[in-house]
A and B are shown apart, each in its own frame.
Chain A
Amino acid sequence: MTGTAQLQTYDFAGGEYNFAYLDEQTKRMIRRAILKGIAIPGYQVPFASREMPMPYGWGTGGVQVTASILGKDDCLKMIDQGSDDTTNAVSLRGFFEKTAGVRTTYETSEATIVQTRHRIPEKPLREDQIIVFQVPIPEPLRFLEPRETETRKMHALEDYGLMHVKLYEDIAKNGHIATTYAYPVKVNGRYVMDPSPTPKFDNPKIDRMAALQLYGAGREKRIYAIPPYTDVKSLDFEDYPFEVQKFDMPCGLCGAENVYLDEVILDDKGGRMFVCSDSDYCEERRAEGHTGPMAADPAAVHIGGGKQEETDR
């Protein structure tokens, strides 16, 4: 912690970057877009997305949103599919450590801003937290109607019949709604929105969440938002109501139920286990003494361990 404390006293300011990389005019432009996004929940605000020192697809939209709201007293958590220590999360966390010198954390409850690639932490977010989503394709109607002029008009006229047809075709083909991620939602009874490719398991968390949600799509140059306590309804039918995935076993390491699980292959003989996708949640539960059915398995040992030293870095 002492290392980051030193960084906060402006070491980087004398260096090559403005605080949090972006120049002030860019931040102002993005900040104005964020305000519009908040005022029109679920509406995609166009913004002049900048080229970032990372390729599109690495979360340039989320990074630009985070850089524009970030202050020197913030504490940042970066997750990639629920995990704090996978490639995308590690490199983006390093980006902000280098360009803004802010404190970072693995702990959901300690963070003031959580930037995420496609998961929402299992632990409910608080009013004083902000969650920033990295979005690849913000337009929920894009695969149904490729023309931006047309999708704009459809949003303007609240013409969302096509989306229901898509969900209906799912039922006709598969017997159930087969959309499992990027599951479309209706925000505040008005705009249909893509909650980014989060598993639909996380959709109920978006509804009336206490934290402010900001969504940034860098390549597609769109920002949108959901204010706290906004009604967000996953689209469905009366006879085919929205439901989330269910797992028939608990997390192998911490025994948690009703959480989103990742399948991990343990060997080349068919050995596998299911563990929490939210690595911080899993670790915290194990620290509290919860153990799952596979926690003692020697093959599973290397999966949960070895993280603590990185947190203290």
Chain B
Amino acid sequence: MPAAAETMPQNATQNSALAPGFQDPVHDAQDCFRAIMNAMARPGTLHGVRTSELTPPAPLTPAGAAAALTLFDYDTPVWLDRTLMASDEVKGFLRFHTGAPIVSEPVEAAFALVADPLQLISLASFNQGSAEYPDTSTTVILLKQDFGDGDKVTLEGPGIEKSAQFAPKPVPPTFWDQVIANNRQFPRGVDLIFAGSAEIAALPRSTHVTLPES
């Protein structure tokens, strides 16, 4: 790992110039944060983010990069899934623009970025927070989400007037069972952010999920 970290900047400059961050760091970050905040306050609803100017290295997506630039900094250890971890450009992009330390243990992470959601590791392997400080848990950001096409689940709880439908895709096979288990241990548990191409949705730990009857 240390060896890779040392050669990274060199690779980045050889392969491509470092992709730029927000053009207007103050207002773009504010705009993206409001989208994420509204998404978190109204679970399952979609909120547009301005991503047109962002050209992050693959497999990081523009919406994922916007969320990263909005939320990450030197205070937030970040865990990357295997496909993101394999990309020196992605790590270079995140390190340069956010300064966030990249960690290999999911339990140490404040945020997790997942570019291949089908291979998402168990939600239980992330930091769940403690009973006294449930806010120390990991926030998991799933990239490349399509909304409306996946299995329809029903959401109830804070932020939802009666109930809401939510159908993001792709998610791993046992994902919704894990989300239900995550909600059961409230106030502990992880929070989920779903980043699509230009939209963001969220599922806080407080949301009660019901699977469709099959």
Contacts and interface: CB of A to CB of B under 8 A. Distances in A.
B134 A38 contact: no
B6 interface: no
Interface stretch (A152-160, A162-170, A266-274): A152-160
A244 interface: no
B132 to A, nearest CB: 5
Interface string B129-162: 0111111000100000000000000000111110
A96 interface: no
Contact of A229 (B33, B73, B159): B159
A85 B17 CA distance: 53
B131 A157 contact: yes
Nearest to B98: A28
A40 B135 contact: yes
Interface of B: 25-27, 29-31, 33-34, 36-38, 40-42, 70-73, 75-76, 110, 130-135, 139, 157-161, 186-187, 191, 204-206
B159 to A, nearest CB: 4
A170 B130 CA distance: 34
Most B-side CB within 10 Å, residue of A19, A32, A229, A231: A32
Contact of B187 (A32, A33, A43, A212): A43
A159 to B, nearest CB: 11
Contact of A40 (B34, B38, B159, B205): B205
B41 A212 contact: yes
A219 interface: no
Interface stretch (A64-72, A103-111, A135-143, A253-261): A64-72
B187 A31 contact: no
A27 B70 CA distance: 10
A308 interface: no
Nearest to A226: B158
A252 B28 CA distance: 47
A36 interface: yes
B158 A188 contact: yes
A18 B139 CA distance: 28
Contacts of B26: 18-19, 24
A229 B159 CA distance: 5
A291 interface: no
A8 to B, nearest CB: 11
Contacts of A40: 134-135, 186-187, 204-206
A230 B158 contact: yes
Interface string A21-38: 000110111011111111
A188 to B, nearest CB: 5
Contacts of B30: 19, 27, 69-71
Given A18-B26, A228-B159, A38 B135 contact: no
Given A71-B27, A72-B27, A227-B158, A39 B206 contact: yes
Contacts of A34: 37
Contacts of B38: 212
Most A-side CB within 10 Å, residue of B31, B41, B131, B135: B41
B70 A28 contact: yes
B41 to A, nearest CB: 5
A32 B159 contact: no
Interface residues of A, number: 42
A121 interface: no
A41 interface: yes
A32 B71 contact: yes
Contacts of A43: 134-135, 187
A208 to B, nearest CB: 8
Nearest to B192: A39
A72 B26 CA distance: 10
Contacts of B36: 35
Contact of B25 (A24, A29, A31, A226): A24
A69 B37 contact: yes
B58 to A, nearest CB: 25
Nearest to B130: A156
A205 interface: no
B40 A35 contact: yes
Contacts of A156: 130-132
Contacts of B160: 229
Nearest to A112: B34
A230 B158 CA distance: 5
Most A-side CB within 10 Å, residue of B36, B37, B75: B37
B61 to A, nearest CB: 20
A32 B204 contact: no
Most A-side CB within 10 Å, residue of B70, B132, B160: B132
A45 interface: yes
A188 B131 CA distance: 17
Contacts of A24: 25-26, 29
B183 to A, nearest CB: 11
